[in-house]
Amino acid sequence: MSSSLKSTQNNVTQDISSRWITVSTIGVMFYAILLFLYPKGYILGSVILLVLSIAAGWCKKLTWHKNLTLLAIAFVMFTIPHIISFLQETGDMSSIKKAARGIPLLLAAALLIRFKPKQQAIYASFAISLIIAFIIMINEQVIGFERGDYAGFNLNPLMTAIVAVIAFILPSIHTNSIKLRILAYTGICLGVLTVIMSGSKGPFLGLLIVILVFIFMPSRDKPSSNKKYIRFIILSLMGLIMVASMGTNNELFSRTSMAIHNLTSHFENPSSESQISSTAIRLELWKGALVLATEKPIFGYGMTQAQERMGELYEQGYLAKYMGTFTKTHFHSMYFQALGNRGLFGLFTVLFLLIIPTYILLKNKLVNPTYSLSGLLVIISYIITGIADVSLSSTLASSTYFILIIIGVSQVSIYKK
């Protein structure tokens, strides 16, 4: 009689657990599908995921883990320099809100650790999000593609987010499920074409490096018998990238070639009016950021005062003549943005935000090698795209980073009762 009662209790417990796994899976899937569906999709996705997490908390179904403690420290540390800058210049709180976007998602991580969402469903939903992004790109190409007005999105952060999602789902091509493999390849290929058609140099570079790292990164998740097959497929994909780039009317190759030319020309004659280009502007902004960092090395000037000081450097002739209208912009690099506005402490927190998840994912890679590799590739994508763009300061790009890292870390964390 007692054994029958225990069996019934176990069945009830498993049934409840199964329902919460379904809930966590649905929450992440909604986030993924809404991410690129419209400009504020990530907000609705976050709300849905957080509401489900709060409901789980109300039912006492959340759990904490030491990995979340480390992640919470990194998220909070990343926010502190923004708070200091706000106090220094009493500006708006928009930068604080962007920096703190990952903190509420820790609640979702507490749900995802205990009730791990179905892996194939998660990868499939992010593959679908890339297909959605491609459809939007095709529509923009038809009605007249403009970099400054792209379906309500800020183009560079959008492409940074797309590259991050491609990086995230790359390891799923090792799955035994043929349906997921086909969907993953479709999403990856269409995501690659979306980045190509956008003509965005930084995200494209990040994409190439992520693919190369994926090919050559050692991983137990790669079946040894399939290595040659997988490398052949990925190398073919890279060939598709090059062929598609040369065969379309997008500006990617011409902009990349021009950037290389401008880089050389800038060092030969940096002050010439004829040398003005996005590459030259970035180099001048980074030069100014280094000056700002030497003047206020610890906490920096803050955004407004940094822009004012950049204007003074221009007036003093330290910056090139064509920089007059560009001293009020951001530094076009998440590293120099942190250094110029928030000093060495700001730069440290950016690196800390990249290093801590890397440590967690590597330390726990045997728990779930696929998610571990996914998270590492996402971090690599942001390390590269952040060189020439403010990836972790842009709303969509930063939100995508936080959710993908939350998913990766939660899935390599073992739930202990």
Q: Compute the distance between CA of residue 118 and CA of residue 120 in angstroms, rounded to an integer.
A: 6
Q: Compute the distance between CA of residue 283 and CA of residue 314 in angstroms, rounded to an integer.
A: 14
Instruction: Take residue 176 and report the two structure tokens written for it.
Output: 């035994």
The per-residue pLDDT for range 126-154, each reduced to its tens digit, is 999 999 999 999 888 888 777 767 878 88
Query: Has residue 203 been placed in a domain?
Result: yes
The per-residue pLDDT for range 287-330, each reduced to its tens digit, is 888 999 999 999 988 888 888 888 888 888 888 777 777 777 78
Statement: residue 79 has pLDDT above 90: yes
Query: Has residue 289 been placed in a domain?
Result: no
Of residues 240, 4, 14, the one with CA closest to residue 115: 14
Query: Has residue 260 been placed in a domain?
Result: no
Statement: residue 244 has pLDDT above 80: no
Contacting residues for 345 by C-beta, under 8 A, at least 6 apart? 80, 81, 84, 298, 299, 300
Rounded to the nearest 10°, the torsion over CA 294, 295, 297, 302 is -130
pTM (2 d.p.): 0.89
Query: Has residue 186 been placed in a domain?
Result: yes
Domain coverage including residue 343: 12-253+334-411
More confident residue, 181 or 236: 181
Q: Compute the distance between CA of residue 137 and CA of residue 380 in angstroms, rounded to an integer.
A: 25
Query: Has residue 180 been placed in a domain?
Result: yes
Query: Has residue 153 been placed in a domain?
Result: yes
Residue bearing tokens 């995921």: 49
Of residues 203, 200, 135, 113, the one with CA closest to residue 167: 203
Q: Compute the distance between CA of residue 198 and CA of residue 137 in angstroms, rounded to an integer.
A: 8
On whether the CB atoms of residues 31 and 132 are closer than 8 A, the answer is no
Query: Has residue 149 been placed in a domain?
Result: yes
How many domains, the chain?
1
Q: What is the pLDDT of residue 1?
A: 45
- Give the 3-state secondary structure of residue 256: helix
Report phi then psi at 247, rounded to 5. -90, -5
Q: Compute the distance between CA of residue 47 and CA of residue 27 in angstroms, rounded to an integer.
A: 9
Q: State the first-to-last Cα distance of the chain, in angstroms, to the nearest integer.
A: 27
pLDDT class for 16, splitting at 50, 70, 90? Answer: confident
Q: Do you know the residue count of the chain? A: 417
Instruction: Take residue 316 and report the two structure tokens written for it.
Output: 């003093």
The rounded Cα 190 to chain-centroid distance in angstroms is: 18
Q: Compute the distance between CA of residue 81 and CA of residue 260 in angstroms, rounded to an integer.
A: 34
Query: Has residue 279 been placed in a domain?
Result: no
Report phi then psi at 384, rounded to 5. -75, -50
The per-residue pLDDT for range 201-216, each reduced to its tens digit, is 889 889 989 988 888 7
